[in-house]
Amino acid sequence: MARYVLKRLVLLPVLLFLFSVTVFAIVQAPPGDFLTTYVATLASSGSSISAEQIEALRREYGLDRPIWVQYIRWMQNVLTGNLGLSLEYQRPNAELIGERLVLTVVLALFAFAITWIVAIPAGIYSAMHPRSALDYLLTVLNYIGVATPNFMLALVLMWGAFAYFGLSITGLFSPDYVEAPWSAARGVDLLKHVWLPAVVLGVAGTARLTRVMRANLLDELNKPYVTTARAKGLPEWRLVLRYPARLALNPLVSTIGWYLPLLFSGSLIVATVMNLPNIGPLLLRALINQDMYLAGSILLIYCFLTILGTLISDILLAWLDPRIRLDEG
């Protein structure tokens, strides 16, 4: 087990290196750099900047060097924990990202928890009562859940709350707590607001997971060991939870590997629509303004979260299912 985990950990830096090159190439790609955008914005707002000042800025940010030098400089800084200065906000990127990163992870974990808490019982019920009215209802809901883009769901909810209750359900905090330092009260306030975006984010995954759980459990319920247990006189619900449900859960653990990363990157869209203080909207702005070091840092964080999600699921799976450990040695 330890060896398996170690092997995966060794691969981590290699992957991150490849991703950092990819990310840098992508943020570098647009024609022009941040300064051209910056000068254009200044010009449109009426103020101007001298050519020497632009040159000085360009030198300061290293934009006059060859691309590979810029990459190495960026990497050196990232590795020492310095994510650089946002060209647009004129503040350290680490400071901009900091709290937003925590909120991104909190939101994704909440969505993940909601998904599992809803999908597993719903899937078990559906499999135990196939073709019942509730099973059909769940199936219909699942199809619609998978088909609805989450920004659409967010829009409809926001519209409903606004038009019928006069509520604004954007953001993650009440106005009093937006700028407040962390405290117990602020945490409670976060809990009051986080569940709605988490539901929006988790709907598609819940629908998919319910279907998989139902199918897996239905396969298991036909097996002889279930009949045996039933013949012994075990109550039905205890029987199901004790043996087949646990077996049916096993393949689901392997889906965590793609589901968690999906939540991290999916929260970008939900956060933009619902105006959540998350790294998603920050990335969007940085991309549009060509704030390349900020965009690069955020993209790298997304890559890291994705790898981390996959790693967690691989380790969980290896821990649950010894066959996988033996295969990969």
Partner 1 sequence: MTAGPPVVAPETAEDRVSVASNWRLVWWRFRKHRLALLSAFVLLALYGVVLFPDFVSTQDPEATDARLAFIPVQRLHLFDGARLSPWVPAVAGKRNPTTLRMEWGVDGSRKTPVRFFVTGYSYRLLGIVPAHLHLLGTAAPDGRERLYLLGTDRLGRDQWSRLVHGTRTSMTIGLAAVTFSVVLGVMLGGISGYFGGVADVVIQRLIELLQSLPTIPIWLALSAALPRDWSPQQVFLAITVILSLVGWTTLGREVRGRFLALREEDFVLAAELAGASRRRIIVRHMVPTFLSHIIATSTLAIPAMIISETSLSFLGLGIRPPAISWGVLLQEAQNIQTVALAPWLLVPGLIVILSVLAFNLVGDGLRDAADPYSQ
Binding site for partner 1 (CB under 8 A): 15, 18-19, 22-23, 26-27, 29-31, 143-144, 146-149, 151-152, 155-156, 158-159, 162-163, 168, 258, 261, 264-266, 268-269, 272-273, 283-284, 287-288, 295, 298-299, 302-303, 305-307, 310
Which two three-digit tokens encode residue 229?
């247990």
Interatomic CA distance for residues 237 and 36, integer angstroms: 66
Question: In the complex with partner 1, which residue's Cβ is closer, 240 or 271?
Answer: 271
Give me the numbers of helices (H) and strands (E) for the chain, helices first please.
Answer: 14, 0
Q: Shortest approach of partner 1 to residue 228 CB, angstroms? A: 26
CA 208 to chain centre: 17
- Residue 85 DSSP code: B
Q: What is the largest CA-CA distance in the chain?
A: 88
Instruction: Compare residues 197 and 261 and give the one whose CB is closer to partner 1.
Output: 261
Q: Supply the minimum distance, in Å, between the C-beta of residue 143 and partner 1.
A: 6
Strand, coil or helix: 92: strand
**Closest CB 273 distance from partner 1, rounded Å:** 7
Q: Which residue pairs from 167-171 have beta carbons closer than 8 angstroms and sit at least 24 positions apart in sequence?
A: 169/196, 169/274, 170/274, 170/275, 170/276, 171/274, 171/275, 171/276, 171/277
Of the two residues 85 and 154, which places its CB atom closer to partner 1 in the complex? Answer: 154
Nearer to partner 1, 30 or 322 (CB): 30
Separation of alpha carbons 171 and 168, rounded Å:
9
13 vs 181 by CB, closer to partner 1: 13
Minimum distance of partner 1 from residue 111's CB (angstroms): 14
Of residues 229 and 308, the one with the C-beta less far from partner 1:
308
| Strand, helix or coil for residue 44 | helix
CB of 205 to partner 1, least distance (A): 13
| Strand partners of residue 92 | 85
Question: Could you give the count of Cα atoms lying within 13 Å of 260 in the half-sphere of its Cβ?
Answer: 22
The answer to whether the beta carbons of residues 264 and 305 sit under 8 Å apart is yes
CB of 10 to partner 1, least distance (A): 15
Cβ nearer to partner 1, comparing 245 with 300: 300
DSSP characters for 196-251? HHHHHHHHHHHHHHHHHHHHHHHHHHTSHHHHHHHHTT--HHHHHHHTHHHHHHHH
Minimal distance, residue 246 CB to partner 1, in Å:
27
Helix (H, G, I), strand (E, B) or coil at 151: helix
Q: Which is nearer to partner 1, 123 or 257 (CB)?
A: 257
Tell me how far, at minimum, the Cβ of 271 lies from partner 1, in Å.
Answer: 11
Half-sphere exposure of 270 (CA within 13 A, CB side): 29
For residues 277 and 171, is the Cβ–Cβ distance under 8 A?
A: yes
